[in-house]
Amino acid sequence: MYDNMYASEMSSGPGIVFWIFYFALIIFMIFVQWKIYVKAGKPGWGCIVPIYNVILQLEIAGRPIWWIFLMFIPFVNIVVSIIILIDFAKAFGKGTGFAIGMIFLPFIFFPILAFDSSEYQETIHIVSEPY
């Protein structure tokens, strides 16, 4: 039978191996984002600063900065994030399929973007003015 000491250890939640893997993945993804920002000519440290990292993503994607306010609207933020990722991928010469990969498998597609030979192509979205 189980000893009380072992029973409490078994039900204490994720083990140390999980936390080591989790923190290693976080550090790796920060490194990857840093590399992508530098590749786009932006400061790499910007990836670890809240809100500023979204502003940098908007700049890389070629979207206006005021879109950051859309990120605070529930459900709208999901659509806006998808649009930003599609434009983000296109800014590096990738297609919509690659952007879908970035959405569903970010730990695979973001490193591909960071370490492949693609180059940042600055995009400018021109908003047409009504007559």
State pLDDT tens for residues 31-71.
999 999 999 999 999 999 999 999 999 999 999 999 999 99
Query: How many Cα atoms occupy the beta-carbon half-sphere of 113 within 13 Å?
Result: 33
State pLDDT tens for residues 19-31.
999 999 999 999 9
DSSP-derived letter for residue 128 is: P
State pLDDT tens for residues 65-123.
999 999 999 999 999 999 999 999 999 999 999 999 999 999 999 999 999 998 898 76
Q: Tell me what pLDDT residue 124 has.
A: 59
Q: Tell me what pLDDT residue 13 has.
A: 77
- Whether 41 and 121 have beta carbons less than 8 Å apart is answered as no
What pLDDT band is residue 11 in, cutting at 50, 70 and 90?
low
